């Protein structure tokens, strides 16, 4: 079980008590946003790094197009993995083994931190 699986089930279990039917959608959206934010931070970092050493690999518009396509792929991948039978199998595995649970506040701060770091790097 990966770290992202643990994060998904932490968010899922937190929102399962208050939003019974929407908990899966909230957890998928959160995990997708977190992964997209991490990709954005890495992309911006490498873009600035390659600009500093004067390497022109591709234009900014092509980079944003690649980012959007990657974001769509990440969301649909998470939607397929964490919906239906695969989620039930992973949930059964987490119930049998010790699962690391994360604080929901820490998880939301992690997402906001990634987004703010990407914005700071974009403005630099």
pLDDT at 106: 94
What's the token pair of residue 13? 């279990």
Output the tens digit of pLDDT for each of the chain's 124 residues. 688 988 988 898 899 889 888 999 999 999 999 999 999 999 999 888 888 888 887 788 888 999 999 999 999 999 998 887 777 777 777 766 666 778 899 999 999 999 999 999 999 7
pLDDT at 3: 87
Half-sphere exposure of 9 (CA within 13 A, CB side): 20
Q: Report yes or no: 35 and 67 within 8 Å, Cβ to Cβ.
A: no
* Chain centroid offset of residue 103 CA: 16
pLDDT at 102: 84
pTM for the structure as a whole: 0.88
Other C-beta atoms lying within 10 Å of the C-beta of residue 94: 20
For residue 85, give the nearest of 73, 93, 97 by alpha carbon.
Answer: 93
């Amino acid at each position: 079980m990966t770290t992202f699986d643990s994060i998904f089930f932490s968010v899922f279990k937190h929102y399962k008590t208050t939003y019974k039917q929407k908990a899966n959608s909230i957890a998928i959206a959160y995990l997708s946003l977190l992964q997209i934010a991490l990709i954005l931070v890495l992309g911006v970092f490498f873009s600035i790094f390659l600009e500093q050493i004067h390497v022109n690999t591709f234009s900014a518009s092509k980079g944003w197009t690649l980012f959007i396509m990657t974001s769509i792929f990440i969301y649909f991948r998470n939607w397929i993995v964490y919906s239906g039978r695969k989620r039930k199998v992973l949930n059964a595995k987490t119930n049998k083994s010790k699962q690391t649970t994360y604080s929901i506040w820490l998880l939301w701060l992690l997402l906001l931190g990634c987004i703010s770091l990407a914005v700071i790097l974009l403005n630099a």
